[in-house]
Amino acid sequence: MNLKTKYSQFIKSEAKRLGFLSCGISKAEFLEEEAPRLEKWLNNNMHGEMQYMENHFDKRLDPTKLVDDSKSVISLLLNYFPSENQKDPDAPKISKYAYGTDYHFVIKDKLKELLQSIQEEIGEVHGRAFVDSAPVLDKAWAAKSGLGWIGKNSNLLTQQVGSFYFIAELIIDLDLAYDMPVTDHCGTCTACIDACPTQAIVEPYVVDGSKCISYFTIELKAEIPNSYSGQFDDWMFGCDVCQDVCPWNRFSKPHNEPLFNPKPELLTMSKKEWQEITQEVFSRVFQKSAVKRTKFSGLKRNIKFLED
């Protein structure tokens, strides 16, 4: 076995030990196939008010411009599929990824540990960790590394566990053995396109971010346009519809990360309790949660929008 293969195998087994679902590795190089796609998406204003998407165009497509001397992109998946959902079927809904502790913290710690193990085993290796950070096209890297394919709903999908997981990367200055992409298994299915409450999947594989409920409920700072009134299918933070209907998510299995478990109240609060939520309850239920991103006022706005 050559050294690159040996190191890659070591990194993958360490990733498993740290609780990642899977790990795939690609050569750090310009993402040629993604460049025209990203350009078209931005030119069509599908990023709405997410101005940060326009920044660092070159860096986003080329990890060697992002991390000095980078040689490899290590992509990692971490499962967040919960064992339980919100109890009241009429309660405003929260995307499953935001049930527990903010994933940025949980994953950053794991990535740091992975880099440390690599340094202890292999020697002087430098790198940077990325978790859902704007400069890295994480789905494209994960697909290039054979962890899944990008489905018509624009999520990364796997035949084994569907799509309810976070994607993170470690970009390092060490040459490794690289993985091959897998084939697309969406076939003739259009379940996600048909089910999207706001018709945000404008064509297969293209999500207009500026029409997506996740964008309206999390990213948009201004008022939600009235033209979308009654279309949010009770989502108050994010939206899981295009994942919930995806047949590959039949194979999702509950995560085993205690930090991703929600505060019990999050699951038991009724529609009325959500409508009457106070700052105090918000701070308690969403302590350390990614939902804090909207702040209390943002979540109130979203809940009120569902009532109008």
Using CB under 6 A, list all residues that contact ligand SF4.
Answer: 151-153, 157, 186, 189-192, 196-198, 200-201, 207, 212-214, 239, 241-242, 245-248
Strands 165-172 and 72-79: antiparallel
User: What Å distances lie between residue 225 and 244, 262, 301, CA to CA?
Assistant: 25, 30, 12
* 211 versus 255: smaller Cβ distance to ligand SF4: 211
* Contact indicator for 239, 214 with CB cutoff of 8 Å: yes
Catalytic residues: 132
CB of 245 to ligand SF4, least distance (A): 6
Beta bridge partners of 22: 77
CB of 77 to ligand SF4, least distance (A): 16
CB of 263 to ligand SF4, least distance (A): 24
User: What Å distances lie between residue 67 and 28, 77, 177, 213, CA to CA?
Assistant: 10, 21, 19, 33
CB of 114 to ligand SF4, least distance (A): 29
Rounded Cα distance between 141 and 73, Å, is: 7
Rounded Cα distance between 121 and 34, Å, is: 34
